[in-house]
Each structure stands twice: as C-alpha cells, then as structure tokens.
Amino acid sequence: GEDVEQSLFLSVREGDSSVINCTYTDSSSTYLYWYKQEPGAGLQLLTYIFSNMDMKQDQRLTVLLNKKDKHLSLRIADTQTGDSAIYFCAESSGGYNKLIFGAGTRLAVHP
Amino acid sequence: GAGVSQTPSNKVTEKGKYVELRCDPISGHTALYWYRQSLGQGPEFLIYFQGTGAADDSGLPNDRFFAVRPEGSVSTLKIQRTERGDSAVYLCASSLNPLGAGEGEQFFGPGTRLTVL
C-alpha cells in the first residue's frame, strides 16, 4: 500500500543548511509535497514538485526528487530560528489529490 | 480573504457521546477533504467530497464516522458512540480544483482538537 517515511528529528545550527529526507512507495504519485506545521498553527504548503522533475528551487528551498529510488528531499538554506517546526512530506494518490503524509520531521534550530 | 475555518476549535466529550465537527471551506472551492492527525503522526485521510457527494470515504475508520456536505459548501463530520481512541485533531482542507497541484493546492483549516474522556 501507500506509505511515506521520514526521519523524526533534525537539529541544525542557525545559518547552516538543513536537509530533510523522505521516501515514498506510490510510483504513480503525480505530485509530491512539503508542508510545514508550527505549534498552534495549521498546515502550510511550502512547495511541491511534479513527478517528472528532478529538482525545484524556490528561494531558500530546494526540492530534489529521485524517482527511481522514490526519495524526496527538502533543503533549507541559511536556516533560521523561524524555520523551527515540523515538516511533512506527502504524496498525492488517486486522481483527486488525496494526500498521504509521513509522520513528520521535527526541525530544531539552535544558535 | 477568509481561509478554511473549523468549529469548534476544541471539543471535550465523554466516551459514548455523539459529536459533530464543522468545516467552512474557502468560498468557491469544490473539493473538500477531512483528515485526522493523532499525536506525533502525520494527517491521515478520512474522506473526500467533490461538490455534495462523497467521492472517496475509504479512510473512515468504521461506521461510527459519517460526513455530509449537503449544499456543496459547509461539511460536517459526525462521530457516534465516541471512543477514547477517537481523540485527535480533525483537519479539514479545501481546494479549487482537485486535480493536482497549482489550482489543486489544499488549504488546511486550523483543526478541531477532539478529546474523548
């Protein structure tokens, strides 16, 4: 069945780059997503990548997709304390964009 | 403009009671999704509406859960005979176009935190 796996924790120093990794199982997923969740706030879409792309860059965010290995990563350049949050990887399933989420990676940014 | 709203923000109930959770999607969004997020987990899909009809309810855990969207806008998730295991945050999302990203981006509400004692 569909499954999305992520590492649970990542700690980085302010100003360094963060890389959050994700693996997924549904090779028919059309889109793959990264969402951010801050305490007490709703899920916020950060970026997404179409399955026929290898890379997408959006300001400080870079998404890399290895479709052969079903591996997705999110790189955040110059990580700031405001980037501290839980990051969810999600794949779309079905023709109507039903989202299958990973358990989330908690990113902690320290001075 | 107004985003997706959900009421109540918090609901505490006793085991065995009936609860209703409401979702007001963004005006004009035809697609509506319900997800459930347990502590320490990612959201899990429950049900998807296109217009008034439930196009996919495969994520509903059992027949105690039911959802409606009678006029193609507001949706209500109904849980009968609540159990302690139903405690979670229930999230609603809507999108303009269910077919993929871009116009298909799902906008999430803040969620309803349900606690069953």
Give the residue from A22, A99, A105 with the most B CB atoms within 10 Å of its CB, the best one to mutate.
Answer: A99
Q: For B48-60, what is each residue's pLDDT tens digit?
A: 999 899 889 999 9
Confidence at B47, pLDDT banded by 50, 70, 90: very high
Q: Model confidence over A21-79: pLDDT tens digits? A: 999 988 777 789 999 999 878 899 999 998 888 999 999 999 999 999 999 999 999 99
pLDDT of residue B98: 67
Mark yes or no for CB contact B43/A43 under 8 Å.
Answer: yes
pLDDT above 90 (res A81): yes
- Determine phi and psi for A8, rounding to 5 degrees: -85, -30
User: Taken in order A80, A81, A83, A84, is the CA torsion positive or negative?
Assistant: positive
**C-alpha triplet A10, B85, B112: angle, nearest 5°:** 70
Nearest chain A residue (CA) to B46: A98
Tell me the pLDDT tens digit for each residue of B75-90: 999 999 999 999 999 9
3-state SS class at A4: strand
CA atoms of B33 and B41, how far apart (whole Å): 18
pLDDT bracket for residue B101 (50, 70, 90): low
A88 with B43: Cβ contact below 8 A: yes
Residue B96: HSE in the Cβ half-sphere, 13 Å Cα cutoff? 6
Q: Check B108 against A48: CB less than 8 A apart.
A: no
Q: What is the pLDDT of residues A82-111, one digit of tens each?
A: 999 999 999 987 777 789 999 999 999 999
